[in-house]
Amino acid sequence: MSSGLWGYEGTEGYAAGTDLTGYRVEATDGHIGKVDKHTEDVDTAHIVVDTGPWIFGREVLLPAGTLTRVDTTEKTVWVNRTKDEIKNSPEYDKDRHTGDRAYRDRIDGYYTGGTAL
């Protein structure tokens, strides 16, 4: 991915191999849920957030490049997006998120402002 969104480079406090599953996720304007899954795979690194009751149990995919900080003591990650940006993100598709380049490009475009939904 040319945007650099699909890697943890620049995420303060992140160390390769850290299991983020179960960590709280904080947007720039408040809590959005917890990490349900994450990966460090090259060019597809991301977290999947279970938003719980906030947006009716919807899961959202956040590219690793949206994370700004990880606190392993507090088990919390912070992302550089607002709750509305996350709420309006493309639907997470568990069957397409890693192998479908067009789907990843759509996610990439949304978070970089490059394309419309």
Each domain of the chain, given as residue ranges in start order, spans 24-112
Q: What is the pLDDT of residue 50?
A: 94
Give residue-wise pLDDT tens across range 91-107.
888 887 667 888 888 89
Q: Which residues of the chain have pLDDT under 70?
A: 1-3, 97-98, 114-117
Q: What is the pLDDT of residue 13?
A: 96
CB 61: neighbour CB atoms within 10 A? Answer: 22
Q: What is the pLDDT of residue 1?
A: 40
Is the pTM for the entire model greater than 0.85? yes
The total number of residues shown for the chain amounts to 117
Q: What is the pLDDT of residue 117?
A: 43
Alpha carbon dihedral 25, 106, 87, 98, in 10-degree steps, equals: -40
Topology of 24-112 in CATH?
SH3 type barrels. (2.30.30)
Q: What is the pLDDT of residue 60?
A: 94
Reference 3, options 116, 87, 107; nearest CA is 107
Q: What is the pLDDT of residue 43?
A: 83
